[in-house]
Amino acid sequence: MKKPKIISIVGPTASGKSALAIDLALIFNSEVISADSRQVYLGLDLGSGKVTTEEMKGVPHHLLDVADVNHTYTGADFIKDANSAISDILNREKLPIIAGGTFFYLELLKGGSQTAPVEPNPALRAELEQLSDGQLFAKLNNLDPERAQNIDSQNRRRLIRALEIINSLGKVPVPSKTESNYDFLSIGIKIDKDLLKQRIEQRLNERLEKGMVEEVENLLKSGIPPLRLHDLGLEYRYITEYLEGKITYEEMKEKIVIKSLQFAKRQYTWLKRDKSIIWFDFPVDFNEVEGVVKNFLAIKE
């Protein structure tokens, strides 16, 4: 049976994934599905880099603002919602394009791994939230050294989820590959480190001017606990620390840039495992990408 075709756009943070997805969508009668673990939440706009209505250029976007920030959105939630969105897009004879920086979500869709059948445990999460990142990692290393070897020790959300799974199953199951329901074309964006740093700094300044600190202030005023914002990482973590008086404004900016670059490095490491990705150097030659997509879709000139 012929599998439905899907395009995915991957690359490090600030590499222009969303813009490329939109430009392709305008050419190929497509709709975009966000694969971003923070953009699913209502109210996380500037800090998550959520595409604006103006930036969408009329292209419909899916899986933005679909969850409350007080509730944890899991990989299982993404698979359910993404499959529903893909089915809807395909039924209207349009092409789904997936773009976002949470590559674990994309790997789930591609059959590269599976989510553990464990429901969120609010009581356990509240208990684990009291621990530092170092304490969470030490606890994980003691209970499941194998999982500890291949987890980001600074990703608080992943650490807590791993411990939640261990609490239920005894250990984190080793992911097993399954066959994807879709035929994927994966397009990757490579960008020079110095240029990436410039883009991250520019993007940060633009978001701060638009009111990113005020966004975090409003989230705190609405009752979102500081620990929850810390859990959401990067901008939300360090702006919260600034608002709590733990770091200065300049320290906040410096930490966001440094941690964003470290995050980009981890993203590259993750993506290198996928040999099916077709890479393009930034700035991307759109005509070249368009040609690759036409070939994938068997569109004749």
**Which residue ranges form the domains of the chain, and what is each CATH number?**
115-174 (1.10.20.140), 193-263 (1.10.287.890)
Helix, strand or coil, per DSSP, at residue 181 = coil
Tell me the pTM.
0.84
Q: Is the pLDDT of residue 115 over 80?
A: no
Phi, psi for 10 (deg, rounded to 5): -125, 165
Q: Is the pLDDT of residue 112 over 70?
A: no
Structure tokens at 160: 């807590």
Nearest to 219 by CA among 198, 240, 247: 240
pLDDT in tens, 29-44: 999 999 999 999 999 9
Label each residue of 97-121 as H, E or C: EEECCCHHHHHHHCCCCCCCCCCCC
First to last CA, the chain: 27
Nearest to 214 by CA among 193, 243, 189: 243
pLDDT in tens, 174-208: 766 678 889 999 999 999 999 999 999 999 999 99
pLDDT in tens, 147-163: 888 787 877 878 888 89
Helix, strand or coil, per DSSP, at residue 173 = coil
